[in-house]
Amino acid sequence: MGLDAPTGSLQTTDETVAEPESTTETRAGTEPESIALEARDLDVYYGDDQALQSIDMEIPEGEVTALIGPSGCGKSTFLRCINRMNDLIDIARVDGDLHFNGKNVYDDDVDPVALRRKIGMVFQKPNPFPKSIRDNVAFGLRVQGRDENVDAKVEQALERAALLEEVEDQLDSSGLDLSGGQQQRLCIARAIAPDPEVLLMDEPASALDPIATAKIEELIEELSEEYTVVVVTHNMQQAARISDKTAVFLTGGELVEFDDTEKIFENPEHDRVEDYITGKFG
Ligand SMILES: Nc1ncnc2c1ncn2[C@@H]1O[C@H](COP(=O)(O)OP(=O)(O)OP(=O)(O)O)[C@@H](O)[C@H]1O
């Protein structure tokens, strides 16, 4: 996990949590599986409306976890809780705990900006800055004052985002001149350049054509070798293809089932999940 930043730690305003607190047994019961993120009794409200109800979830480190469910069930809301992007929405209120490496990200001493360095995000619509490819990828590094070896780090991030080969002769051209799929990989490179531990992706391929989508899917699987990936998708086939774990949210902001992806798609515990998976509603 990570290139040169310390792993397993969340720098807060006045303390550092060094090691993950919680582990759980794998299904085989042999090796302990590290937990990167853990929601405990998490409620989210927008004004008087409750968007998430009492969510408990343990997201394993170094795997792809997909969040699926019908429109409005709270998938994006949950994703935005993880790196406190909901802080930017005035009427949003969060109750309960969201632990990252054992530290509640909603504790008063957590700096959301520092948190977002560890937990990067990629959005539905590619949103490169109107800057060169190089400056897009270098953006987070420069903001952090990590100006040493920027060119090498930019190339490394582009390589990891499976884009370097296509753009290495045009690093000074505008990021906006790339195709949609390339722009999304550029945004992924920008998100991973500062070396986060977790990558949050909100429907990262839904604005792309099938070929660009296939590249992003392949990339997500590769990224999970180094990062914990949490991805919201509307596309159930995509969730089945790329994820290790799947969380099914249903209307009302309830997490109805969370398990290995194979189990969710082949033999879910809940009839409502089966109905959703088989397209009876949603
Ligand atoms: N900024 C906001 N202000 C007020 N209500 C919001 C806001 N964002 C989301 N909501 C409400 O919270 C609920 C959950 O929305 P959210 O976007 O998290 O669902 P979702 O499952 O990601 O939906 P979709 O699949 O359509 O993107 C919805 O009822 C939505 O209207």
pLDDT at 29 over 60: no
- Residue 17: its pLDDT value, please? 35
- DSSP-derived pairing of the beta strands 198-202 and 228-232: parallel
Question: Within a 10 A sphere around the Cβ of 171, how many other Cβ atoms?
Answer: 18
Ligand 1 centroid to Cα of residue 72, in Å, is 5
pLDDT higher for 254 or 31? 254
Per-residue pLDDT of 63-77, as tens digits, reads 999 999 999 999 999
Residue 9 Cα, ligand 1 centroid: separation in angstroms?
A: 31
Fold topology of 33-129+198-277:
Rossmann fold (3.40.50)
Q: What is the whole-number distance in angstroms between the Cα of residue 76 and the centre of ligand 1?
A: 7
Amino acid identity, position 110: V
- Which residues' Cβ are closer than 6 Å to ligand 1? 46, 51, 69, 71-77, 89, 91, 234
Angular region, 41: left φ>0, alpha ψ -120 to 50, beta rest? left
Q: How far apart are CA 169 and CA 176, in angstroms?
A: 16
Q: Can you tell me the ipTM of this complex? A: 0.98
* For the CA of 47, the nearest atom of ligand 1: 4
pLDDT value for 15: 36
> How confident is the model over 24-39, as a mean pLDDT?
66
Taking CA atoms only, the protein residue closest to ligand 1 atom 16 is: 74
Pairwise CA distance, residues 9 & 18, whole Å? 5
* pTM score, whole prediction: 0.88
